[in-house]
Structure 1
């Protein structure tokens, strides 16, 4: 387990960790930190220096943090779910998981750990709200995960304040992303994307150095005569002082003693520097499973449809739902005592709502067809309920068992023959015949 844990899981092997003090900075150095072939050392925190990685992690963490997370009760007879605001976990998940974080802060931090390091941990602490009164986040780089002989999981925490301590499986809320071969921990995307991120860091440094040197490639100065070492050192210093750096761009050199300057390098476009940086953005977005259009990368057209509604719907279905499933599954396993009765759900409705015209058309159709009541539509749109609007409307072009003709010669009991105002309904067949 030690090899896979160190290389893939973002956690340290037990033997190595036992030699480190809880306040040792090497806990944050991480075994997953390594040198890329581009010559740049890549760490989870260092990856955030790349704008594409920063945007991917920021989008995922802030989106999940924004979504309401609530408890629901399942009806065993009908299978329907209803909000359970009185459940002890509801206040913890929806409003405040601990004394110093809001629910937004907690979800954003945990999602950032999960997406960047492959794991997110929080200690489950008991209190007035039950066995899960508080959730205290733990930095993933300070956690060792191993399996005990009874097949339960143990977490060793290097706490800089309390010292090294151990927590059992029922004391830790653990989120895992892509599972490592051992199955105990998740894999950090940075581990596999090391070369991609390393190349992006190298390209960014190359661009910075190029512009710091005046955004002009170097060249060769040739002389007719051989220079002495002091003369060469003096000439080099004067040349760099007079013509090096961005503040000396476009200056005209004046050469003495028959010296000649010849440029020998290509410009940035010819060296495909811009194309390399654009390709790295696409690669990083692919590693973190984030659509380019949501990273403000507009150089290519999207095949997801047009409009914000289509893009957000595809993002929620294809990219966000797996992360939300990771959250709700871990909550069911670690926090809910009666999983057959209660469950946690994210409310993704704010992300997939259409524009005002589309919403008006949708709710108008569902109300007129009796699918939802008018008060349910008002609640979905953020309006207070009104008296007398809790009964569903009955469409005028449908019939039910109550619409069978009566023996006393009176109209049927159903409302299919009644218009919206109580008057006779219009015969659709007659109207169509008249139109033709």
Structure 2
């Protein structure tokens, strides 16, 4: 889906979906979001009359969206276009018995033109051919009223991206000695002619080109040029640009390894860090994708969910403490939790061993007055 390239008045760098990926912060943000959502398991459910979400098998299109692409790759690729252009498109090549798409072949958003007619009807032009709504999978991410397409983050971040790319080009030109002269070779004893200057320049370059030593008398001086202060400040804008990109793509600055002076956030554990990422940055996007996929690929009370529990993996100690508390609070049975670790239910032999080690024993303590039954530890074993 083409958009008008933005040009910075300072750099005149054209920004497109391809040139934007030369910005390391753009690449990192796109990769992070696509990596995370494509690695989440997808589950199908059905609403029952009792309000319980009953698990169901995934429809074939959510296992193999195309004959040559698995679902993880399909989600990753479509998320890249959603975050770059605000839209993703695919051609529907087959339908199932319920007239739902069976195969959806993704098409690069940069090759799609969306035509919205005055009556609200939408047509799609792909490689010179026109398609109607029923033939095209169209998922939008950043929407506004009255527009048939989502907003493109790249288009709105064009100025920040252009500044960064310009700074990159300046740095390359500087260090390859193309932007400005590398230095000044001056004869302090006399004024030389053009022919002598060219000869001295050639001799100097031939000597130092391979890192050799240049030998001269007291009449020649070489002064390397230094970057101007405003040029150095221009290069510093690359760091500020990375922070802007993180905000445009809704990712934490530290998660794309971009430095931001004066800010530091410490989390107690990885679970808290990922929970913050999920709630503030990924959660709304995941919910929109669940809604779009459920509405277009499922029927009736059926729907799909991305299993975000995979993102909230705990460290072993925290996970063990949580599971133990769930068993003690009678929220989960031990066999349910063992299944999460691919363990079979306890056998009778295992129960017998557990009883031998941990079963409560009742001990009667006799006093001259009346016997009292107590519970406690006997020989170091809980009783």
TM range (shorter): 0.7 to 0.9
Instruction: Out of 258-267 and 40-49, give the one that drifted further.
Output: 258-267
Question: Is the strand fraction higher in 1 or 2?
Answer: 2
2:65 maps to which residue? 97
1:82–1:194: structure 2 CA closer, same or farther, 3 Å change rule?
A: same
**Shift, 1:66, TM fit:** 0.7
Give the SS at the match of 1:71: strand
How big is each residue's C-alpha offset from its partner over 1:315-349, in whole Å with a ceiling of 9 and x where there is no partner?
A: 111111122122112213332332xx111110011
1:45–1:387: structure 2 CA closer, same or farther, 3 Å change rule?
A: same
**Shift, 1:420, TM fit:** 7.7
Q: Hey, what's the Cα distance between the residues in 2 that align with 1:264 and 1:291?
A: 39
Instruction: Out of 200-209 and 350-359, give the one that drifted further.
Output: 200-209
1:59 maps to which residue? 32
1:281 maps to which residue? 242
Contact 2:253 2:260 in 1 (8 A): no
**Shift, 1:265, TM fit:** 2.0
**Shift, 1:298, TM fit:** 6.1
Contact 1:217 1:265 in 2 (8 A): no
Give the SS at the match of 2:54: strand
1:333 maps to which residue? 295
Give the SS at the match of 1:271: helix
Give the SS at the match of 2:311: helix
Scaled by the length of structure 1, the TM-score of the pair is 0.71
Query: Which of 32, 47, 53 is 2:20 aligned to?
Result: 47
Q: Hey, what's the Cα distance between the residues in 2 that align with 1:180 and 1:237?
A: 62
Aligned residues: 352
Structure 2: gaps spanning 5 or more residues:
349-357, 364-373, 376-383
**Shift, 1:68, TM fit:** 1.3
How big is each residue's C-alpha offset from its partner over 1:200-237, in whole Å with a ceiling of 9 and x where there is no partner?
A: 222223333333349x9833333454433333333334
**Shift, 1:286, TM fit:** 1.9
Matched, 1:320 2:320: no
Give the SS at the match of 1:38: coil
1:181–1:314: structure 2 CA closer, same or farther, 3 Å change rule?
A: same
Contact 1:217 1:266 in 2 (8 A): no
Give the SS at the match of 2:142: coil
**Shift, 1:58, TM fit:** 0.8
Matches within 5 A, 1:30-429: 30-36=2-8, 37-75=10-48, 77-85=49-57, 89=59, 91-93=60-62, 95-128=63-96, 130-131=98-99, 132-148=101-117, 151-158=120-127, 164-179=128-143, 182-213=146-177, 218-223=182-187, 224-243=189-208, 248=211, 253-255=214-216, 258-266=219-227, 271-272=232-233, 275-297=236-258, 302-303=264-265, 305-338=267-300, 341-386=301-346
Matches within 5 A, 1:4-43: 11=1, 30-36=2-8, 37-43=10-16
Give the SS at the match of 2:91: strand
1:334–1:154: structure 2 CA closer, same or farther, 3 Å change rule?
A: farther
Q: Hey, what's the Cα distance between the residues in 1 that align with 2:229 and 2:204?
A: 23
How big is each residue's C-alpha offset from its partner over 1:406-433, in whole Å with a ceiling of 9 and x where there is no partner?
A: xxxxxxxxxxxxx986979xxxxx99xx
Contact 2:92 2:105 in 1 (8 A): yes
Higher relative contact order, structure no. (Cα contacts within 8 Å, ≥ 6 residues apart): 2
1:27 maps to which residue? none
1:33–1:298: structure 2 CA closer, same or farther, 3 Å change rule?
A: closer
Give the SS at the match of 1:383: coil
Scaled by the length of structure 2, the TM-score of the pair is 0.80
Contact 1:221 1:260 in 2 (8 A): yes
**Shift, 1:60, TM fit:** 0.9
Structure 1: gaps spanning 5 or more residues:
1-10, 12-29, 159-163, 389-418, 425-429, 432-436
